[in-house]
Chain A
Amino acid sequence: KAGVTQTPRYLIKTRGQQVTLSCSPISGHRSVSWYQQTPGQGLQFLFEYFSETQRNKGNFPGRFSGRQFSNSRSEMNVSTLELGDSALYLCASSGAGQLYNSPLHFGNGTRLTVT
């Protein structure tokens, strides 16, 4: 099976712009989660989607949003970019159902640099 695919791999944006990142989960996985990784804060949970519905949301401002499509592919959007949004954004998929957990499988991330 192909792994989790994230595009683009690298992105440079200017403060105030918006950005959309894309994630294709492992085939058959219905849960997609997004995480932000920075040297200072480590790995932090953004949100999780399951069957096109947001199931959980982390402690991030409303500028961060996401969605999931019927084929389980997901996008996240960050509006009005700030310098502090520079980070590695990781997408992960899981075969877990509604009531049980299974490991998250991560993509290699999108490196976003805001200048």
Chain B
Amino acid sequence: GESVGLHLPTLSVQEGDNSIINCAYSNSASDYFIWYKQESGKGPQFIIDIRSNMDKRQGQRVTVLLNKTVKHLSLQIAATQPGDSAVYFCAENVINAGNMLTFGGGTRLMVKP
């Protein structure tokens, strides 16, 4: 498969455990945030998004937390499964600035069976 990053930070978790992936964003004007999952040989896949008027948003097995004070975003995955193994990217955007996303460097999640 194609490598999406040779020296990514890696999070290794046991199957069934919860995973927390963190992201620090840079632009205090950013007001829309997205998490993507990228598997080898594929493009980024949308997981969940959150707007700056919210602190928390939940999806199926995933939760995103936003702390605007310290410009920090996290993705929590409940009951991590082997199929969750991938590289995860956070992205930030400024509303009214089109779809110009700024991506973080990514975190590789490895799930041990």
Query: Which A positions have Cβ atoms within 8 angstroms of B?
Result: 4, 31, 33, 35, 37, 39, 42-45, 48, 50, 55-56, 58, 88, 90, 92, 94, 96, 99-101, 103-109, 111
Interface residue from A42, A104, A106, A108 paired with B106 (Cβ < 8 Å) = A42
* B-side contacts of A50, CB under 8 Å: 98
- With A37-B4, A101-B95, A108-B43 known to touch, is A42 a contact of B105 (CB < 8 Å)? yes
**Cα-based distance from A107 to B45 in the complex (angstroms):** 9
B interface residue count range (under 10 / 10 to 19 / 20 to 34 / 35 or more): 20 to 34
B97 touches A108 (CB 8 A): no
- Asked if B5 CB lies within 8 Å of chain A CBs, one says yes
Interface residue from B32, B45, B104 paired with A106 (Cβ < 8 Å) = B45
Query: Which B positions have Cβ atoms within 8 angstroms of A?
Result: 2-6, 32, 34, 36, 41-46, 49, 89, 91, 93, 95-106
* B-side contacts of A56, CB under 8 Å: 97-100
**Cα-based distance from A55 to B98 in the complex (angstroms):** 7
A104 touches B100 (CB 8 A): no
Chain A min CB distance to B111 (Å): 22
A99 touches B43 (CB 8 A): no
**Cα-based distance from A90 to B103 in the complex (angstroms):** 13
Most buried by B among A33, A35, A92, A101: A101
